[in-house]
Amino acid sequence: MYQTLKNFGKAKIQEPLCKHTTFKIGGPADFFVTVEKIDKLQELLAFLDGEGQEYFILGGGSNMLARDEGFRGVVIEVKDKTIEQEGDEMIACAGAVTVEVAQQSMKGGLTGFEWGVGVPGTIGGAVRGNAGAMGSEMKDNVKKVLLYKDGSLHEYDNDACGFEYRSSIFKREGGIILKVWLKLKKGENIEGKKKMLEFLRYRNTTQPQGYASTGCIFKNVEFNETVPKGAYNRKKLLEHFDKENEKVQQFLSVGKISAGWLVQEAGCKGYQVGQAQVSEKHGNFIINLGGATSHDVLKIIEMVKEKVYNTYGIELEEEIQIV
Ligand SMILES: Cc1cc2nc3c(=O)[nH]c(=O)nc-3n(C[C@H](O)[C@H](O)[C@H](O)COP(=O)(O)OP(=O)(O)OC[C@H]3O[C@@H](n4cnc5c(N)ncnc54)[C@H](O)[C@@H]3O)c2cc1C
C-alpha cells in the first residue's frame, strides 16, 4: 500500500494525527498521504475504492477530534490550494484555505465572502459543514460543487447541496468535495470590511487565545418548528429562563440558543479532565492545556451533555467530527 500511495503524493506510515489537527490531539494513521492536485486525488479515491480500503479526508483538521488510537486506513490530506477568479466568481480547489479564498476575493474586487477570513481550515471542509460566521454561511455563497462519489464525478448546484445549519448533503450522505464555485458580487464592501475587523476583534476577546482547540464543540440549539425537537427546545428555554433576559430575547429572535451560553449557565465552564478543559472564556470551546488526549475530551463532552440535559432538558449535539 505504502509504495502505491507514493504515486499519488507524499506518503507516510504511522503518521501522528496530532500533527495535523488544530486540537493537537490524535494517534497515528496507518497511512497518511498528502495530495497536491485534485486530479491525483480523484485517481487516488478511485484506487482506494477499488481496493475497498478505508480512508478519511482531512482538510485543515480544524473541526475534528482524532482519537488517541489513531486511524486504521489511509488519511488523505487535501492540499490543492488553487484559487482562481472568473468575473464575479471564485473557483477554489478543496484544499484552498478558506481565509485565503476570502482575502483573494476582496483583493479581486469582490464582496460577499468577507466573513470567510474568520474561519480556519479548507474550503472543502467549510462547504461540507456549511461553515458560517457573522450571520453568513457557505450556503449564501456557493454556486456549484464538484464532488467525487462512488467512482464518478457529480456537480451540485446550491439547491442540490442541501445546506442546513452546519450541515449539507455531503455531510449527511458522503462524497468528497473536489472543487467549489462561489458566486460573489463586484464591488468593495467597506461596511463588510469594517464588520469583519470588528468580528475578528470580538473573536479575540471572546475566544480562548494561545491554546489548541477545535472551535465550537457543540451546535447551537435550534428551535425552528420544522427542525426535530425544535418546539421542545423552545419550550425548555422559556421554562428555565426569564423571557425578559436580553440573551434569551436574542435567542428567540434568531431561533437558536447559543450552546456556549447553555454550557456556561449550566456551570460547566472550567470543567477539566486530564489536560482538557472547558474554556473559562467561551463555554463552547474545549482547550488543550498541553498533552490532552481524545479520552479527556470525550469525557468532558459527555459530562457537559449530561449536565446541560439534567439542568435544562436540552440535548447538545456535537458539531465536530470524531474520527
Ligand atoms: C479557533 C477556531 C475557530 C473556528 N471558528 C469557526 C466559525 O466561526 N465558524 C465555523 O463554521 N467554524 C469554525 N471553526 C471550525 C472549522 O474551522 C470549520 O468547521 C472549517 O470549515 C473546517 O474545515 P477543515 O478543512 O479544517 O475541516 P476538517 O476539520 O479537516 O474536516 C472536518 C470534516 O470535513 C471533512 N472534509 C474535509 N475536507 C473535505 C472534502 N474536501 N470533502 C469532503 N469532506 C471533507 C472531513 O473528513 C471531516 O469529516 C473554527 C475552528 C477553530 C479551531
DSSP assignment of 20-74, as one string?
A: SSTT----EEEEEEEE-SHHHHHHHHHHHHHHT--EEEESSS-SEE--TT-EEEE
Q: Is 166 a catalytic site residue?
A: yes
The answer to whether position 178 is within a domain reads yes
Residues 111-131, mean pLDDT to the nearest whole number: 95
Q: Ligand 1 centroid to 244 CA: how many Å?
A: 35
Looking at 71-167, list the stretches that DSSP marks H as alpha helix, in order from N- to C-terminal side. 98-107, 123-128
CATH at residue 93 = 3.30.465.10
Could you say which of 50, 78, 106 is where a domain stops? 78
Q: With pLDDT > 90 as the criterion, what percentage of the chain qualifies?
A: 79
Q: pTM for the whole thing?
A: 0.94
Q: Ligand 1 centroid to 63 CA: how many Å?
A: 4
Are 47 and 113 in the same domain?
no
Question: Element (H or E) spanning 305, and its range?
Answer: helix 294-312
Are 97 and 154 in the same domain?
yes
The answer to whether position 43 is within a domain reads yes
* Sequence-separated (6 or more) residues with CB below 8 Å from residue 252: 234, 237, 243
Could you say which of 25, 49, 78 is where a domain stops? 78
The answer to whether position 227 is within a domain reads yes
Are 224 and 315 in the same domain?
yes
Whether residue 187 is predicted with pLDDT greater than 90 in this model: the reply is no
CATH at residue 283 = 3.90.78.10
Are 73 and 139 in the same domain?
no
The answer to whether position 180 is within a domain reads yes
Residues 124-150, mean pLDDT to the nearest whole number: 96
Are 128 and 151 in the same domain?
yes
Higher per-residue pLDDT: 78 or 232: 78
Residues 13-23, mean pLDDT to the nearest whole number: 98
Q: Which of 119, 127, 323 to mutate to test the pocket of ligand 1 (most atoms within 8 A of CB)?
A: 119
Asked if residues 112 and 134 have their Cβ atoms less than 8 Å apart, the reply is no
What's the pLDDT score for residue 162? 97
Are 97 and 71 in the same domain?
no
Taking alpha carbons only, the member of 55, 56, 46, 53 closest to residue 150 is: 46
pLDDT digits (tens, 9 = 90+) for 217-265: 999 998 877 666 788 888 888 888 888 888 888 898 888 899 999 999 9
* The ligand 1 atom nearest the CA atom of 147: 42
Whether residue 87 is predicted with pLDDT greater than 80 in this model: the reply is yes
Range(s) of the domain holding residue 98: 83-191
Cβ count near 267 (within 10 Å): 12
Taking alpha carbons only, the member of 220, 219, 119, 131 closest to residue 177 is: 131
Are 222 and 287 in the same domain?
yes
Are 168 and 113 in the same domain?
yes
Q: Out of 175-184, 244-253, 302-311, which region has the weakest mean confidence (pLDDT)?
A: 244-253
Are 283 and 237 in the same domain?
yes
Whether residue 134 is predicted with pLDDT greater than 90 in this model: the reply is no
The answer to whether position 102 is within a domain reads yes
Q: Out of 30-39, 226-235, 262-271, 284-293, which region has the weakest mean confidence (pLDDT)?
A: 226-235
Confidence of residue 137 (pLDDT cuts 50, 70, 90): very high
How far apart (Å, rounded) are the C-alpha atoms in residues 278 and 155?
40
Higher per-residue pLDDT: 253 or 57: 57
How far apart (Å, rounded) are the C-alpha atoms in residues 51 and 79?
23
What's the pLDDT score for residue 22? 97
Are 129 and 177 in the same domain?
yes
How far apart (Å, rounded) are the C-alpha atoms in residues 109 and 185?
9
CATH at residue 17 = 3.30.43.10
The answer to whether position 139 is within a domain reads yes
Are 257 and 306 in the same domain?
yes
How far apart (Å, rounded) are the C-alpha atoms in residues 19 and 316?
28
Q: Is 319 a catalytic site residue?
A: yes
Provide the grid cell at 96: 484552498
The answer to whether position 201 is within a domain reads no
Question: Residue 103 — φ and ψ, nearest 5°?
Answer: -65, -40
Could you say which of 191, 226, 257 is where a domain stops? 191
Question: Which protein residue's CA is at the shortest distance from atom 9 of ligand 1?
Answer: 132
* Sequence-separated (6 or more) residues with CB below 8 Å from residue 230: 222, 223, 224
Are 70 and 90 in the same domain?
no
The answer to whether position 197 is within a domain reads no
Q: Which residues of 99-114 are buried (b: 16+ CB within 10 A; e: fewer)?
A: bbbbbbbbebebbbbb
Residue with cell 487516488: 44
- Give me the number of domains the chain comprises: 3
Phi-psi region at 99: left, alpha or beta (left = phi > 0; alpha = psi -120 to 50): alpha
What's the pLDDT score for residue 208? 87
Provide the grid cell at 125: 471542509
What's the pLDDT score for residue 4? 94
* Sequence-separated (6 or more) residues with CB below 8 Å from residue 321: 63, 64, 65
Asked if residues 26 and 293 have their Cβ atoms less than 8 Å apart, the reply is no
**Binding-site residues, ligand 1, Cβ < 6 A:** 22, 56-64, 78, 94, 118-122, 124-126, 128-129, 131-133, 170, 176-177, 213-215, 321
Asked if residues 319 and 166 have their Cβ atoms less than 8 Å apart, the reply is yes
Residues 19-44, mean pLDDT to the nearest whole number: 97
